[in-house]
Amino acid sequence: MITVSGVQAPADTSSWSPVASKIYERKKNSPVTYRYSSLQQLRFEFELRAAIVAAAKDLSSSGMRFSSFKRARCNERVWRLTKEGGFRIRNDVTPAAGIRDIYENGRLYATECATATVIVVYKGILDSIRETDFNFLFSGLLLYDWHVDQDLQLTKQPGIEEAYLGDLLYFDNPDYSPETPQWRGENVVKLDDDLYYGHPFGILPERAIVAGLNRFRRPGSEKSAYLMDEIVQPGYSYLSQFASNAPRVAIARIGGRVLVH
């Protein structure tokens, strides 16, 4: 069920993207109550979820390779490769240009699944808010595992039965082989009822991802990989104030904090 300002009322989704409309219908029919302060905030979440789904599909076909952090690579005209294997945006390049370059020149990049998942979220946000705000919020952007900017406001919660398109999920491989620690699990983006994007698997159903991870278990193991009861998502409510169609707000950075007026 969905309520807006405490009232349960249907929203006109005729002008929404098909994916956003699908998410709305599913949440509306859920036994869980989802509360929004405004229709703008409600639509922003669903359109951002749709943008994350689109970004995942596009990254899957970008040509980006899979690698460990030790062998990570990037376009060093745009990013600086850190000693840990992360990508730090260069001072003369905007974060927006850096994210777009990954999609345009994917063959120049290689990283593991967590970083790829975070890239997808940043691209979805870039396509959903004002570019000037994106560059301000994520100045000095670092792409490295789950070391994300605090303005992404990622949160983690249980309840896989209430996972929706655009959510970030995780397949755990508890008996992974010590010889292949990179296959201890797989971070994915939910694209549909039983369809996920995970780097480097691509776009696959649950059973195929589980089967892929099970190939890298300890010899003799009978403990299968599985989809964990864990959902990660960005701060939709916070980010909605920077939407392209939202009233412009004044933002300033004090130390590591972004203040919004």
Token representation of residue 197: 């994007």
209-252 pLDDT, tens digit each:
999 999 999 998 989 999 999 999 999 999 999 998 766 666 65
Q: What average pLDDT score do residues 61-83 get?
A: 97
Which residue, chain included where needed, has tokens 């959902």? 231
Helix, strand, or coil (residue 193): coil
CA–CA separation, 183 and 178 (whole Å): 9
Q: What average pLDDT score do residues 170-197 get?
A: 95
- Quickly count: other Cβ atoms within 10 Å of residue 160's Cβ: 15
20-52 pLDDT, tens digit each:
999 999 999 999 999 999 999 999 999 999 999
Q: Which has more pLDDT, 256 or 218?
A: 218
**What percentage of the chain carries pLDDT values higher than 70?**
94
CA–CA separation, 190 and 7 (whole Å): 29
Which pLDDT score, from 0 to 100, does residue 42 have?
96
CA–CA separation, 176 and 181 (whole Å): 7
Distances (CA, A) of 105 to 83, 94, 101, 119, 231: 22, 16, 6, 14, 30
Question: Residues 6 or more apart from 12 whose CB is under 8 A from it?
Answer: none
Task: Please give the radius of gyration of the chain, using alpha carbons only, rounded to the nearest integer.
Answer: 19
